[in-house]
Amino acid sequence: MTIDARTLLPIAEHAASIASEIIRSKAPGVVTAKGDRDMATEVDYAVEHAVREFLSRETPEIGFLGEEEGISHAGDGLMWALDPVDGTANFLHGIPLCGVSLGLVDKDMPTLGVIELPILGIRYTAAEGAGTQANGAAIRVSDACDLEAAIVALGDYAVGENAHERNRPRFALTHELAARVQRIRMFGSAAIDLAWVADGKIDANIMLSNNPWDTAAGVVIAREAGAAVVDIDGSPHSMTAHATIAASPKLVADLVELIAEARKAAKYSERTAE
């Protein structure tokens, strides 16, 4: 099934409005533990239920994947991917860096994205071939070309099973970046990381993960704003990629090389610790 993603943007924006109203109007409520230092609030579930119900009525032919409750039905190559509250820990602690992330995935490629930051009052939208907008105004990625002048956001450190092992490359990457870039930032929200690359607020984002609900919307928003979005080895990014690197195009080669150096350092550290 193929569709012009631009035709679905009004529906996706309506879904984001439904979600944002819930986030603005409700307290986090009961917190459900999902694993070691991982949680969901009542609002996460309320948003996912409301958006799932709305999209199942408006686009019954399209599948739906939500972070909290998984796939409700599989579409014919098309699927909505939702993170109902991206940055749940921030939301729970009253930090305004959280939002709704809704992407449309066509096979393995995101073609539409809406990220709404309800507490900050910003909505980012993009559809393949239509550019990226923030509150209706066109935005572009920064023109940064030197790591020494770049602000780079990192995804969260790992929690849960095998967190220590999974964090070795993250710690090594932090070490390498600290010696090379102007500043490192960790906002605690993949949606914000990718949207702010698109908006030129930061120059690059590195996440050593790639969950569709985290990245589908942000990847197309960044890409349509002129960012290069690649996998950990520099190959084109898709929903089956191992990592998500989005940056001003002139930074990508240096970042991929730096990540490779960090991974080598992490492996050496692991061998010497044995």
214/45 Cα distance (integer angstroms) = 16
For 260: left if phi > 0, alpha if psi spans -120 to 50, otherwise beta; the answer is alpha
Contact (Cβ atoms closer than 8 angstroms) between residue 14 and residue 137: no
- Residue 86, marked binder: yes
254 is in an annotated binding site: no
The side-by-side arrangement of strands in the sheet containing 228-230 is 183-185, 151-154, 204-207, 244-247, 228-230
Q: For residue 236, what is the DSSP state?
A: B
- Cβ density class 172-205: b for 16+ within 10 Å, e for less: bbbebbeebbeebbebbbbbbbbbbbbbbebbbb
Q: Is 214 annotated as a binding residue?
A: yes
| Helices within 26-83 (DSSP H only) | 42-58
CB 173 within 8 A of CB 208: yes
HEC readout, 92-139: HCCCCCCEEEEEEEECCEEEEEEEEECCCCEEEEEECCCCEEECCEEC
Looking at residue 39, its amino acid is M
Among residues 206, 218, 216, which one has the least CA distance to residue 247? Answer: 206
- For residue 75, CA distances in Å to 52, 64, 214, 230 come to 13, 8, 20, 26
Binding site for Mg(2+): residue ranges?
Answer: 67, 83, 86, 214
Binding site: residue ranges?
Answer: 67, 83, 86, 214
